Amino acid sequence: MKTFSITRPDEAIRKRLLDKIDNLTKPKGSLGRLEELAVQIGLIQQTDRPSLRRPHNILFAADHGIAKEGVSPSPQSVTRQQTENFIRGGGGINFLCRQHGFTLKVVDAGVDGDFPPELGIVDKKVRRATRNFLWEAAMTEEERDACIQGGAEVVKEVYDRGCNIVSFGEMGIGNTSASSLWMSCFTGLRPESCIGSGAGLDSHGLAHKRQVLKQALERYDGDASTLDVMRYFGGLEMVMAVGAILEAAELRMIILIDGFILTNCLLAAVRLYPQAAAYAVFAHESGEAGHQLLLKHLKASPLLHLGLRLGEGTGSLCAFPIVDSAVRMMNEMESFARAEVTKYF
């Protein structure tokens, strides 16, 4: 498996960041979370004049074998259809990318179908959908490692083009099932607390989903390590996102973390490399059951509470203006001394 060299940001600059923020023309602490964000971003970039350059949303798409068990109300074919829709510009993530100036990269991690090269979808397909983890491991160790490598390669490419802030999205019918089992295995929480309605299951469908996933957990006979749980229950797009997160952390990029599925990917990433947590900005609390508990487990405080549960990176892009405001605060506000304003606190 690809290894990463991830270190926490050097704390030596923290005092300079706090001194600058406390001497801007405002009462101390009056810009709240913006001030906290400014410190985090300043630490990541090791400067008191941070910048946001060429933001990208990288969306990984793949199909799941577990979808054959009826754990989603949507047919598996929707993964391929929506992936093409993103390229045409008609998805939820598309209008947000246009609104906030993000470049969208759509990556085929394992969609059960082929795309014409002229569509411009990045081809990192490892296999056509995972295996059905109710009966066997979703992927082999070699396939898991190829996903980690593929995700890292996509991030390195956008970084080399000047990107220093990245969000990740996902598309894959059945991926809330895979994410729920990651969450249960990684947090120790009961599966019932981790499993929600996903794309809109009714009460009967949710009960069926819980039964299927409970059976899958009971059949699991692996060693319960992070890498083995990723391999056995994961989605190709999810494991690829883990590799992408780790590469972004190694490159000291700002990482916007979206909803339930990407937060589970972040959880897997920090179990492998705890230092990666320093680069994550948690965008929002999803409407998907379990996300609040997951954020609590990570001691994360999300920026937004909008009831979103679409995925694709949509919550991250909605939160981007807040991140932008924190950076603008550092670069555009005057200090008391320069503005010749008397401190009034």
Question: Which tens digit of pLDDT belongs to each residue from 204-245?
Answer: 999 999 999 999 999 999 999 999 999 999 999 999 999 999
pLDDT of residue 100: 98
How far separated are the first and last CA of the chain, in Å rounded? 54
Question: Which tens digit of pLDDT belongs to each residue from 65-119?
Answer: 999 999 999 999 999 999 999 999 999 999 999 999 999 999 999 999 999 999 9
pLDDT of residue 197: 83
Q: How far apart are CA 294 and CA 176, in angstroms?
A: 13
Q: Is 288 a catalytic residue?
A: no
Residue 345 has pLDDT above 80, yes or no: no
Mean pLDDT along residues 174-203: 92
Q: Taking the complete model, does pTM exceed 0.85, yes or no?
A: yes
Ordered domains of the chain (ranges, CATH): 56-328 (3.40.50.10210)
Question: Which tens digit of pLDDT belongs to each residue from 283-336?
Answer: 999 988 899 999 999 999 999 999 999 999 999 999 999 999 999 999 999 999
Q: How far apart are CA 59 and CA 56, in angstroms?
A: 10
Pair 144, 238: CB distance under 8 Å: no
pLDDT of residue 344: 76
**Residues near 107 by beta carbon (within 8 Å), at least 6 away in sequence:** 58, 59, 60, 61, 121, 122, 124, 150, 154, 237, 240
pLDDT of residue 86: 97
Q: How far apart are CA 330 and CA 20, in angstroms?
A: 8
pLDDT of residue 340: 86
Mean pLDDT along residues 173-192: 96
Estimate to the nearest angstrom the gap between the alpha carbon of 146 and the chain centroid: 19
- Other Cβ atoms closer than 10 A to 299: 7
From 118, 192, 312, 340, the catalytic residue: 312
Listed residue (102, 138, 129) closest to 283, CA to CA: 102
